């Protein structure tokens, strides 16, 4: 039985949490003993988990800067539990934890960053060079999209060290009967009016201000349309100001962070992303699982998720008019939108199921452990 340490950090439960919990749910506990290390504020959001061969250890993990006490605790954990593989998730944990695992000296190291872009663009080059150096300590890097795998290889990281395994979702969670009207009522949204929804942190990466500018274009054609942003973040105040400046107080709803936001996507007519960069965004996979058509920027893995013109539309990053035109196109033709949604469900079943992701990651674990 392989002993796997899963460790990650993020400020609020989001894509990293979804990914790690998916692994815990899907990995065969008869073959793997799992230890999950995470900051206490994320432990509070964990669902009831099957605790067979699973240890959950809250540790004072912070973004990037880790104190000597935490480092000593992790080294002891790796050695005492005789961990075979340390699987690090997220950039915030990936930079310090790979050094810690290397210092412990007993385990193989796998790293899944989800994305290799950072918010501070002027530091992007430095960050990528750090990734290049840390790759020497890493046995395998899992990129969640092919675009980023090629970027990592372009840094002179060996192609044998980087594999692409896209995120996958548990489709059984989307088989339940959910009444969109009840969801809308709970959210304070109106039934019978078009609803365009976006889920994501209100941060520069997600470009929610572009969502508002696009909404203003769409609203000129469809004044009855509703727009919902689910998430919270540093741009909250700027969004409130922009909504007022654009006169969209009646159309745009800032709904804040919501637990199990994937269920809310079932209430949308169209699900969008205006992101500057992405990995394999769960919001798109979840929308497709609900048979909802997509309008997204062609950022990183988004263009590998959405089949343009078949399951939705791709717009160039930052092209607000192209994004708005695509939304209007779907509102103009509900039959086309429904067909695209159905094609999206089929695509996620074929290419982005949890079973496929787990199978590939288990193969990676065995490969790394036996190398």
**pLDDT exceeds 90 at position 175:** no
pLDDT in tens, 39-59: 988 887 777 777 789 999 999
Q: Are residues 203 and 311 in the same domain?
A: yes
Q: Are residues 186 and 319 in the same domain?
A: yes
**pLDDT exceeds 90 at position 316:** yes
Q: Are residues 289 and 160 in the same domain?
A: no
**pLDDT exceeds 90 at position 91:** no
pLDDT of residue 309: 97
Mean pLDDT, residues 147-165: 93
Q: Are residues 161 and 279 in the same domain?
A: no
Residue 60: alpha-carbon gap to chain centroid: 23
Q: Are residues 273 and 362 in the same domain?
A: no
pLDDT over 90, % of the chain: 76
Q: Are residues 78 and 184 in the same domain?
A: no
pTM for this model (two decimals) = 0.92
Cβ contact 60:39 at 8 Å: yes
**What is the C-alpha separation between 183 and 175, in angstroms, rounded?**
16
* Residue 126 pLDDT level (bands cut at 50, 70, 90): confident
* CATH number of the domain to which 313 belongs: 3.40.50.2000
DSSP code of 290?
T
**pLDDT exceeds 90 at position 271:** yes
Average pLDDT, the chain: 93
Domain that holds residue 329: 171-351
pLDDT in tens, 321-352: 999 999 999 999 999 999 999 999 999 999 99
Q: Are residues 175 and 52 in the same domain?
A: no
**What is the C-alpha separation between 267 and 335, in angstroms, rounded?**
17
Q: Are residues 95 and 230 in the same domain?
A: no
Angle at 55 between CA 51 and CA 57, to 5 degrees: 130
Name the more confident of 155 and 302. Answer: 302
pLDDT in tens, 194-221: 999 999 999 999 999 999 999 999 999 9
Q: Are residues 148 and 182 in the same domain?
A: no
Q: Are residues 146 and 240 in the same domain?
A: no
Q: Number of structural domains, the chain? A: 2
Q: Are residues 76 and 193 in the same domain?
A: no
Q: Are residues 17 and 163 in the same domain?
A: yes
């Amino acid at each position: 039985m392989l002993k796997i340490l899963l460790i990650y950090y993020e400020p609020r439960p989001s894509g990293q949490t979804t990914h790690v919990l998916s692994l815990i749910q899907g990995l065969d506990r008869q073959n793997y003993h799992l230890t999950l290390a995470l900051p206490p504020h994320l432990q509070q959001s964990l669902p009831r988990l099957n605790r067979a061969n699973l240890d959950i250890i809250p540790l004072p993990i912070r973004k990037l800067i880790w104190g000597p006490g935490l480092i000593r605790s992790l080294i002891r954990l790796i050695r005492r539990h005789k961990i075979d593989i340390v699987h690090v998730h997220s950039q915030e944990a990936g930079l310090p934890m790979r050094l810690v695992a290397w210092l412990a000296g007993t385990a193989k190291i796998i790293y899944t960053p989800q994305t290799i872009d950072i918010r501070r663009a002027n530091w992007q080059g430095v960050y990528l060079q750090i990734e290049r150096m840390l790759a020497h300590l890493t046995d395998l890097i899992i990129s969640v999209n092919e675009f980023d795998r090629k970027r990592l290889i372009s840094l002179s990281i060996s192609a044998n060290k980087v594999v692409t395994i896209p995120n996958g979702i548990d489709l059984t969670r989307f088989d339940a009967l959910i009444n969109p009207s009840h969801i809308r009522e709970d959210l304070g949204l109106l039934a019978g009016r078009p609803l365009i929804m976006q889920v994501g942190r209100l941060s520069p990466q997600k470009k929610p201000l572009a969502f508002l500018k696009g909404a203003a274009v769409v609203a000129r054609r469809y004044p009855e349309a509703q727009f919902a942003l689910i998430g919270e973040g540093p741009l909250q105040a700027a969004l409130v100001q922009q909504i007022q400046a654009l006169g969209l107080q009646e159309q745009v709803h800032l709904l804040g962070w919501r637990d199990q936001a994937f269920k809310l996507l079932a209430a949308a007519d169209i699900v969008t992303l205006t992101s500057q960069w992405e990995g394999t965004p769960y919001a798109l996979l979840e929308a497709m699982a609900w048979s909802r058509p997509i309008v997204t920027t062609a950022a990183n893995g988004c263009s590998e998720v959405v089949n343009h013109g078949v399951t939705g539309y791709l717009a160039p990053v930052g092209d607000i008019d192209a994004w708005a035109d695509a939304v209007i196109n779907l509102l103009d033709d509900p039959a086309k939108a429904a067909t695209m949604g159905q094609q999206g469900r089929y695509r996620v079943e074929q290419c982005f199921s949890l079973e496929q992701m787990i199978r590939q990651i288990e193969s990676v674990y065995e490969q790394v452990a036996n190398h």
